[in-house]
Amino acid sequence: MYTACMTTTPERLIESTQELLWERGYVGTSPKAILQRAGVGQGSMYHHFSGKSDLALTAIRRTAERMRATAEASLSGDGSAYDRVRAYLLRERDVLRGCPVGRLTMDPDVIADPALRAPVFETLDWLRGRIAGVLAEGRERGEFDAALDPQGTAAAVVATVQGGYVLARAAESPAPFDTAVRGVLALLDARTVAAGR
């Protein structure tokens, strides 16, 4: 999967751990599985990291950074506040795999470890805050009616996305995710002021 000329050993270890955490969770991500996926020798992990927990933390942080960057690309794009939130909600996702950060909230070993839990909580909290900021900006510009609650609406948007992943995985179909997103967009659309669109 990886070649030495393309990425360094630490990078291959981090990328492999990111993938395995998304697929299997923390317990299912054994050092042996990481080494096999990365295509590196047995001592490599402990040469570059103090152990599985250290490597997992680095991988979770990297996944969180990627999620923030992807969300930010939509939320700071062109258009009205509604258009930017809509772009975030409708961006291309691997719905049936779920959210690589959100899925970690269901992993008891991650949640039980304050260090591993921190980047998960911080990222979801950042996302709520970032969406709330976009919505507040839209309300101030007159794009949304004054009754719009940016904080509550942002929490609903994040909950819809995360819950949509769960529903889609349970149904083995992206349809429930798509339905949930259309629903939250309809609610948001009802709060728009025609002149602001």
Amino acid at 29: T
Please check whether residue 4 lies inside any domain of the structure.
Answer: no
Residue 84 included in any domain? yes
Rg (CA), the chain: 19
175 domain-assigned? yes
Neighbours of 150 (CB within 10 A): 21
C-alpha distances in Å from residue 110, one per residue of 10, 47, 117, 172: 22, 23, 6, 25
Residue whose tokens read 């570059």: 48
Contact, 165 vs 96, CB < 8 A? no
What DSSP assignment string belongs to 121-171?
HHHHHHHHHHHHHHHHHHHHTTSB-TT--HHHHHHHHHHHHHHHHHHHHHH
| Tens-place pLDDT, residues 90-119 | 999 999 999 999 999 999 999 999 999 999
Can you give the pTM of this predicted structure? Answer: 0.88
Number of domains in the chain: 1
The per-residue pLDDT for range 22-31, each reduced to its tens digit, is: 899 898 899 9
Closest CA to 178 of 98, 100, 89: 89
Q: Is residue 32 part of a domain?
A: no
For the chain, residues with pLDDT lower than 70 are 1-6, 194-197
Q: What is the mean pLDDT of the chain?
A: 92
**Domain assignment of residue 111, yes or no:** yes
CATH code for position 69: 1.10.357.10
Residue 45 falls inside a structural domain: no
C-alpha–C-alpha distance, residues 186 and 183, integer Å? 5
Write out the residue range of the structural domain in which residue 117 sits.
64-196
